[in-house]
Chains A and B, each alone.
Chain A
Amino acid sequence: EDQVTQSPEALRLQEGESSSLNCSYTVSGLRGLFWYRQDPGKGPEFLFTLYSAGEEKEKERLKATLTKKESFLHITAPKPEDSATYLCAVQDSAAGNKLTFGGGTRVLVKP
């Protein structure tokens, strides 16, 4: 069974204090690994898709990387508006393209 574990569960940062979020996964056939941002009471917002180990993608202060067992979301010099829950998900091509989400990391950036 596919498993996705995100750590830490919660992260408190000072504005400008860079950090990384971890997403460890077990999947039979990785079709894609997705990162989303979710604000309270709203639907998730797509950030990145990574397809193969070694791939990296960037968007503003966020950078996502992928290895064969985990993905990292690096937040560089965060601002208070980066406060959100960040979700990681894997899509398994060997399981009918089923999508499995991790529990998320709640990030709070204080000014």
Chain B
Amino acid sequence: DSGVTQTPKHLITATGQRVTLRCSPRSGDLSVYWYQQSLDQGLQFLIQYYNGEERAKGNILERFSAQQFPDLHSELNLSSLELGDSALYFCASSPSGTHTEAFFGQGTRLTVV
């Protein structure tokens, strides 16, 4: 157990819908990272928050947004969902602002039908 909790574990939704994925980082970790993993694209970095502020941005679509709350948990919002958004979404956390020793959660498997 990495100490990073993601909910829900599985999510099935229809095209055009909006979903929210939640991540609770390890105790004391200030950084939260979101990743998308699909069979054809591999693991892609989406966005990083550090102590509530956006720190780094990857290939995150405009239909996606994220935020980190004062209690340091984070949410990833995916809207106007398309079939191609079906993937595993991982959250990771680390004590500092770098990816060094980032611990990953078990992921949320999103299926868009």
Contact = CB atoms under 8 A, between A and B. Distances in A.
B86 interface: no
Which DSSP category, helix, strand, loop or mixed, fits chain B's interface? strand
B38 to A, nearest CB: 12
A97 interface: yes
Given A97-B55, A98-B56, A99-B56, A46 B43 contact: no
A72 interface: no
Contacts of B55: 97
Contacts of A34: 99-100
Contacts of A87: 43
Contacts of B44: 101
B107 interface: yes
Interface string A22-43: 0000000001101000000011
A100 B55 CA distance: 15
B42 interface: yes
B97 to A, nearest CB: 8
A71 B58 CA distance: 22
A89 B33 CA distance: 14
A85 B101 CA distance: 18
B99 A32 contact: yes
Interface in A87-111: 87, 89, 91, 96-104
A43 B58 contact: no
A103 B41 CA distance: 8
Given A45-B2, A87-B43, A98-B57, 12 more contacts: A31-B98, A32-B98, A32-B100, A34-B99, A42-B106, A43-B90, A44-B92, A49-B101, A89-B43, A99-B33, A99-B58, A101-B42
B103 interface: yes
Nearest to A49: B100
A94 B53 CA distance: 19
Interface string A45-77: 110010000000000000000000000000000
